[in-house]
Amino acid sequence: MTRYTNLMTTRQHMLQEQEGSLEPDSTQQTECFSLSDGEIYYLWHFIQGSIMSPGVRHRLRRGWGFCQRHAWGNLVVESAFRHEYLHGPAILYEDIMGLAQEHIKTDLWHKTALRLNLKMKGPCLMCDMGYGPQSVGHPMEEVLTQGRDISNFQNFAFGTQRYWKKYVCRICLGDQTDGHLCRPHLLSKLSQGQVKNIEAERHFVHYLSEQLRIYARSFRWEWQGTETVENKASLIGAVGWCSGWNELFKILQ
C-alpha cells in the first residue's frame, strides 16, 4: 500500500484499532478537498505576515482559529509554500492552545463556565470576509498552482500519523463510544450532559499544549533540531481539536 492511503482505508484502519468501530459516512469518503482562487489568494497573503497582525490574531483567538475548512486550508497553503517549515501555524496554535489550557484549569472546570469558554466568540475570519468554495481572487497563476499542491502537507501528515491518529475525535470518525473529543464535539456533549470523563479531556488539552510549545520553540535558533515527530504531530492535533477533523480526511484521500 502506498503512503497516500485513500480516505476510506485511513479512517477504517483508525476505527478498527478501537472497539465498537463504526463504518464512516459514505458521503464523506468521496468528497475531495479543494480551495477556491479567493481562498488561496487570501491565505497566500496571510502567510506573508497577516498572521502576526494584532487584529487578526485577536479574531483568531476569539474564533478558536479558523473554521474547519479554512483551518486545514491554512496548513495546506502554508505547507505548499514553506514545505514542512510550519513556523507560523506552530506559533498561532501554541497561542490558541495556551488559551484552551487557561480555560480548562481545575478551578475553572465547571461545566457551565466551560461551555461559555469553549464557544466561538465570533465567526471564522475568512468566512466573514466572504471567502469560500466559490470565492474569486486574482493571484498569479504560479501562486494558484503551488497553493493547490497538497503533497507537502500530505508528507507532513503521513509522517506524523502514528501519533496524531490517537488524537482524532471519535465522533468525527463516526464512532459514538468513549474517546477524545474535538472542541466542537466536546462543547456539544457538555451541552447534553454526556461528557463522562472531563478530567481526561483536560489532560489531553494540557498534553497537546505542552507538545506544541516544544515544537514552536524548535524554530528558535538556539533550539533548532530539538523537535520530535510527536511534537510535530501536536500541530495537527491542535488544529483538529480546535476545529474538527473531517476536512483532514478529505485532504488525505
Question: Each residue's pLDDT tens digit in the chain (253 positions)?
Answer: 343 344 434 454 444 443 333 233 333 444 688 899 999 999 988 888 776 778 898 999 999 999 999 999 999 999 999 888 899 999 999 999 999 998 887 554 567 778 888 899 999 999 999 999 988 877 688 888 898 899 999 999 999 999 999 999 999 988 767 778 999 999 998 888 887 778 888 899 999 999 999 999 998 888 888 889 999 999 999 999 999 999 999 999 8
Question: Residue 204 has what pLDDT?
Answer: 94
Whether 15 is in a domain gets the answer no
Residue 43: alpha-carbon gap to chain centroid? 15
Question: Residue 107 has what pLDDT?
Answer: 52
Cβ-count burial of 249 within 10 angstroms (0-12 exposed, 13-18 middle, 19+ buried)?
buried
CA separation for the pair 182, 238 (Å, rounded): 9
Question: Residue 197 has what pLDDT?
Answer: 79
Question: Residue 29 has what pLDDT?
Answer: 44
Whether 190 is in a domain gets the answer yes
Whether 18 is in a domain gets the answer no
Whether 46 is in a domain gets the answer yes
Beta strands in the chain, from DSSP E residues, in sequence order = none
Whether 199 is in a domain gets the answer yes
Q: What is the pTM for the complete model shown?
A: 0.85
Beta-carbon contacts of residue 176 (< 8 Å; ≥ 6 apart): 22, 170
Question: Residue 109 has what pLDDT?
Answer: 52
Whether 236 is in a domain gets the answer yes
- Domain count across the chain: 1
In the structure grid, which three cell numbers stand for residue 239, read together? Answer: 488544529
Question: Residue 139 has what pLDDT?
Answer: 67
**CA trace torsion 122, 124, 129, 131 (10° rounding):** -160
Whether 141 is in a domain gets the answer yes
Whether 105 is in a domain gets the answer yes
Question: Residue 222 has what pLDDT?
Answer: 87
Question: Residue 213 has what pLDDT?
Answer: 94
The residue with cell 501536536 is 234
The alpha helices in 140-197, defined as continuous H runs, are 141-147, 151-164, 170-173, 183-191
Domain that holds residue 237: 26-251
